């Protein structure tokens, strides 16, 4: 027998009726089967999707993550080209956005920087010493120039230092 366009699967209405009854009786399901790996998992392990009947994706977060990584490594060159092109075409918009972000989150960024410097103090010191050893003449020239341009600062600092030492003795 050939199906006519207005005829549906026999299970279609029973599934639909069951879903409507569940919704009416407020029966909630807490588990779902992943379409990719076929395992029964808790509902929170699926991302939300307002287009589906139960409000969740059919693929669990783990499988979706693996799928995304696989896509990234298969299309890495194209993705990197697209990202670089976006960076070039939206350079002004991005700089304005980041400038505003820095203004709005100044305290938070300062706190993060302070933690980072504490955590990486030894590596920063090693890097600075290595740079100084490699560029000794340039660093000394910059230091001499700074001393020449900041004589007042140096005098003030020395005066305060002597004053502090005298008060401690």
> Which sequence spans correspond to the domains of the chain?
10-72, 134-169
DSSP state of 11: H
Average pLDDT, the chain: 90
Q: For the domain with range 10-72, which CATH number is right: 3.30.70, 1.10.1740, 3.30.60, 3.40.630?
A: 3.30.60
HSE on the CB side for 141, CA within 13 Å? Answer: 4
Mean pLDDT is lowest, of 53-57, 88-92, 163-167, for 53-57
**pLDDT value at residue 14:** 74
Contacts of 56 (CB under 8 A, 6+ apart): 32, 43, 46, 47, 48, 49
Which range, of 11-15, 33-37, 149-153, averages the lowest pLDDT? 11-15
**pLDDT at residue 40 tops 80:** yes
Confidence grade of residue 13 (pLDDT, cut at 50, 70, 90):
low
């Amino acid at each position: 027998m050939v199906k006519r366009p207005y005829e549906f699967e026999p299970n279609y209405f029973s599934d639909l009726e069951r879903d409507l009854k569940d919704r009416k009786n407020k029966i909630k399901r807490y588990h779902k089967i992943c379409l990719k790996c076929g395992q029964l998992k808790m509902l929170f392990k699926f991302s939300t999707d307002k287009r589906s009947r139960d409000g969740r994706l059919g693929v669990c977060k783990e499988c979706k993550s693996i799928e995304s990584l696989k896509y990234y490594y298969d299309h890495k060159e194209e993705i990197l080209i697209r990202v670089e092109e976006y960076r070039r075409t939206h350079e002004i918009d991005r700089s304005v956005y980041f400038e505003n972000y820095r203004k709005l989150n100044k305290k938070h960024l300062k706190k993060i920087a302070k933690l980072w410097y504490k955590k990486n103090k030894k590596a920063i010191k090693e890097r600075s010493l290595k740079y100084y050893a490699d560029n000794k003449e340039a660093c000394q020239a910059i230091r001499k120039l700074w001393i020449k341009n900041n004589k007042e600062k140096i005098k003030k600092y020395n005066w305060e230092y002597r004053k502090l030492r005298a008060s401690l003795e």
